């Protein structure tokens, strides 16, 4: 069994942040989203992983993620010159995949890990494809599956006006080698892409075995700011463990589950978990509220912040107004305000400078 993770695309829904970086490398709880998928795949026993990259952000993905040694895996990078669809990504990965069955994982998705059970069903039922499904409140916003009582997939419909079910396609699939023949026999959709849903529907039409697995845990597509903040909250709430490798002075108060990285200094501040703080941060005269992730090498002085993600090297100084529900890019700078609004909300790209007047 092999795996491919899709880490291309332009990340338009997270702009301006993704003008300067890959959306899959935006951190959740101070770890790139992409790495959660890698770790989940390796935990399921799959160590040969191909990562589909784009010309725009591929070098950054490769530089930060490496050859896979840190994950106990071997990573091969596969360039997709143009974003021509998920099935196109499988097509260009065929030399890497050969005849092996494989997991396809969308790199900007976070799934509460059930890959072991997912893989077991694929193998036990000798399937050609297995789709991961999740019940959603607004199925018309997703690809939707119509299934029978045994979980066999009868039809896939992309964003239907009248959904036949509330079962949305999660961005994780398992395929046998027969998917390559299916992709070779479909045409680009109206938007000019080879759609993986069309390839799966081809398998269904050819009487191949296409099953479904219902996810009982959470699933998050982190393509938008609010979704990413929700993912950050869930990960901090469910996975964070308290630890401190930095220094906390006697005037500071740290409550709840808080992780503080090496070399970080907490001075006269109130940290209320769950909160994660990276390495070599300087936090002084601050309130850091629940569900905040502060990346390494950031400086916060006289700042109040909660339910937010602050990326590496950002600097927020002398802003005592509460910052909430915000995503602040690498090396961004926020300067003092002359008036005091009730709250502030931001989505700020890398290298930005904002002065409140």
Task: Give me the DSSP letters along 39-63.
Answer: HHHHHTT--EEEEEE-TTTHHHHHH
23 falls in which pLDDT band (50, 70, 90)?
confident
The pLDDT of residue 12: 47
274 falls in which pLDDT band (50, 70, 90)?
very high
**C-alpha dist (Å) from residue 203 to 118, 174, 184, 208, 291:** 19, 13, 12, 5, 43
Domain positions in the chain are 2-235, 243-355
The pLDDT of residue 352: 64
The mean-pLDDT minimum among 15-29, 30-44, 262-276 falls in: 15-29
The pLDDT of residue 201: 94
Rounded CA separation 237/249 (Å): 26
Q: What is the average per-residue pLDDT within 6-34?
A: 71
Q: What is the average per-residue pLDDT within 145-172?
A: 88
Rounded CA separation 293/272 (Å): 12
Q: What is the average per-residue pLDDT within 292-304?
A: 96
Asked if the domains at 2-235 and 243-355 fall in one CATH topology, the answer is no
Q: What is the pLDDT of residues 97-113, one digit of tens each?
A: 999 999 999 988 888 76
Tokens at residue 17, please? 């942040």
Q: Which residues fall within 8 angstroms of residue 18, CB to CB, at 6 or more apart? A: 10, 11, 12, 26
Percent of the chain with pLDDT over 70: 90
CATH 3.40.50.720 fits 2-235, yes or no: no
Residue 17 predicted with pLDDT over 60: no
The pLDDT of residue 356: 63
Assigned fold of 243-355: UDP N-Acetylglucosamine Acyltransferase; domain 1 (2.160.10)
Q: What is the pLDDT of residues 177-208, one digit of tens each?
A: 999 999 999 999 888 899 999 999 999 999 99
């Amino acid at each position: 069994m092999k795996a491919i993770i899709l880490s291309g695309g332009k990340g338009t829904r997270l702009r301006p942040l993704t003008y300067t970086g890959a959306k899959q490398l935006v951190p959740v709880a101070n770890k790139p989203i992409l790495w959660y998928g890698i770790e989940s795949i390796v935990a399921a026993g799959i160590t040969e992983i191909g990562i589909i990259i784009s010309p725009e952000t591929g070098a950054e993905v490769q530089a930060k993620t490496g050859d896979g040694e840190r994950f106990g895996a071997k990573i091969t990078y596969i360039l997709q010159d143009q974003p021509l669809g998920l099935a196109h990504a499988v097509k260009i990965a065929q030399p890497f995949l050969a005849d092996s069955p494989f997991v396809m994982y969308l790199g900007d998705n976070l799934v509460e890990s059930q890959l072991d059970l997912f893989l077991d069903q694929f193998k036990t039922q000798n399937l050609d494809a297995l789709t991961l499904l999740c019940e959603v409140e607004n199925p018309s916003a997703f690809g939707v599956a119509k299934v029978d009582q045994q979980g066999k997939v009868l039809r896939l419909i992309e964003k239907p006006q009248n959904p036949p079910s509330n079962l949305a396609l999660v961005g994780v699939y398992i395929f046998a080698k027969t998917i390559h023949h299916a992709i070779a026999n479909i045409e680009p959709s109206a938007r000019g892409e080879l759609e993986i849903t069309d390839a799966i529907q081809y398998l269904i039409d050819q009487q191949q075995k296409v099953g479904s697995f219902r996810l009982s845990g959470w699933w998050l597509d982190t393509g938008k700011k609010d979704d990413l903040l929700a993912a950050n909250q869930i990960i901090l709430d469910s996975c964070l463990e308290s630890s401190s490798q930095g220094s906390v002075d006697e005037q500071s108060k740290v409550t709840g589950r808080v992780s503080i990285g090496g070399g970080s200094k907490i001075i006269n501040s109130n940290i209320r978990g769950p909160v994660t703080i990276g390495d070599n941060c300087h936090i002084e005269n601050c309130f850091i509220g629940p569900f905040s992730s502060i990346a390494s090498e950031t400086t916060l002085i006289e700042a109040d912040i909660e339910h937010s993600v602050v990326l590496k090297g950002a600097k927020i100084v002398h802003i005592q107004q509460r910052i909430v529900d915000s995503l602040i890019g690498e090396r961004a700078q926020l300067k003092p305000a002359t008036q005091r609004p009730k709250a502030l909300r931001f989505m700020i790209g890398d290298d930005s400078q904002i002065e409140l007047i």
